[in-house]
């Protein structure tokens, strides 16, 4: 993850670009920082996705729906 200093710099460059144009050096720095941020974000997000475990399978889901429908019919 980017440190606070780099995150602050990204935000600073973003604010500056809205008010005035950035120099070539600033644009390059902004691109480098954004690319690094996105790379870290994607890596973190992928790690979270890879650790997700599906608990209910379609078969279990269908069984629950069937049971709910049966209990509704019994209530009538």
pLDDT at 61: 81
Domain encompassing residue 13: 4-75
Which domain CATH number covers 71? 1.10.287.540
Q: What is the 3-state secondary structure (H, E, C) of 30-69?
A: HHHHHHHHHHHHHHHHHHHHHCCCCCCCHHHHHHHHHHHH
19 vs 73, residue with greater confidence: 19
Q: Report the domain count for the chain.
A: 1
pLDDT at 76: 60
CA dist., res. 68 & res. 37, Å (int): 47
pTM here is 0.64
């Amino acid at each position: 993850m980017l440190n606070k200093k780099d995150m602050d710099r990204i935000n600073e460059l973003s604010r500056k670009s809205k008010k005035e144009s950035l120099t070539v050096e600033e644009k390059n720095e902004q691109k480098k920082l954004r690319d690094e941020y996105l790379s870290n974000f994607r890596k973190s997000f992928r790690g979270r996705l890879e650790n997700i475990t599906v608990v209910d399978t379609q078969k279990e889901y269908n069984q629950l729906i069937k049971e709910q429908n049966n209990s509704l019919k019994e209530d009538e």
